Amino acid sequence: MGKLYIRSHFGNSKKGITVDNFNITFSGNIPAGSGMSSSAALENAVVFGLNKLFDLGLTKTEMIIISQKAEHNYVGVNCGIMDQYASMFGIKNHALLLDCRTIKATPFEINFEKHELMLINTNVKHSLSDSAYNDRRSVCEKVSSMLNIKALRDATEADLEKVKDTISNEDFQKALFVIEENKRAENASKAMTDGDLKTLGALIYSSHDGLQNQYKVSCDELDFLVQQAKENQDILGARMMGGGFGGCTINLIAKTAVDQFKTSVSKAYKAKFDKDCSIYSVELSDGTHLIK
């Protein structure tokens, strides 16, 4: 017999669910370490499949909490819920503005008209990304505790100034980035709703600048690809995605410029780093579901 232990989202106690023996086969074409949440997709697929197979009666929200706990308890990454939520609750041709406290999201239909999203994989995976994530989460929790709030989402920049002299500048910048990034996420959802792609692109570039210079989770390869995008007038915005120190950039690019930029950025990247990058088109699809 296999035994699946589930930690309740609403408490600290564990409840055991016993399942019969099962065989499982999985495959995929998402490169590991690319920042595209392949681990969340796998976790969700497994728990979703077991839920269906053994009629466990789990809700989708319960399933993503189980997936998250797999990261916490087995992988050792104290991640949030965003990756698992997006993978489970994704809606075709929509972006999601996720409130991680309520675990609910507002969908925004994507219509970039003459533009599209393109991913460029650096094919770099730095092993320190997991420990770096935990370190930055610890900083955020420490600063939140100093401000006597539950999380930095409850803080303003003015609040952060009150403790500036009691923390290192590095920790101040990391906390400031989180506060600013929360605002950018809200502003980006408004820009998408308004069809204001120029503003959306500027927010994406600004996000990468913060990830690079404040949160410090980028790397030379990612920064190079973003700089290449900035030098191309057909790209409205670019930033790293995922845990950092490698993985992909996401680019908002004019459809007419895709082929030319693929060629030019591939050559430039190869010349700079003596390695190839990989380029992917993006399709926003529904989340974890049965294939019939």
Name the one residue in this structure whose structure tokens are 């401000």: 147
Confirm if 74 and 214 have CB atoms less than 8 A apart.
Answer: no
Could you tell me whether strands 14-19 and 115-125 are parallel, antiparallel, or unpaired per DSSP bridges? unpaired
One of 20, 83, 209, 234 is an active-site residue; which one?
Answer: 83
Question: For the CA atoms of 102, 97, 81, 141, what is the dihedral angle to 10 degrees?
Answer: -80
Confirm if 86 and 37 have CB atoms less than 8 A apart.
Answer: yes
Q: State how far the Cα of 167 lies from the Cα of 238, in Å rounded to an integer.
A: 31
Q: State how far the Cα of 240 lies from the Cα of 35, in Å rounded to an integer.
A: 9
| Helix (H/G/I), strand (E/B), else coil: 85 | helix
Helix axes 197-213, 169-194, angle to 10 degrees: 170
Q: State how far the Cα of 32 lies from the Cα of 18, in Å rounded to an integer.
A: 31
Which token pair is 202?
């500027």
| Helix (H/G/I), strand (E/B), else coil: 220 | helix
Annotation says 83 is catalytic: yes
Residues identified as active-site: 83
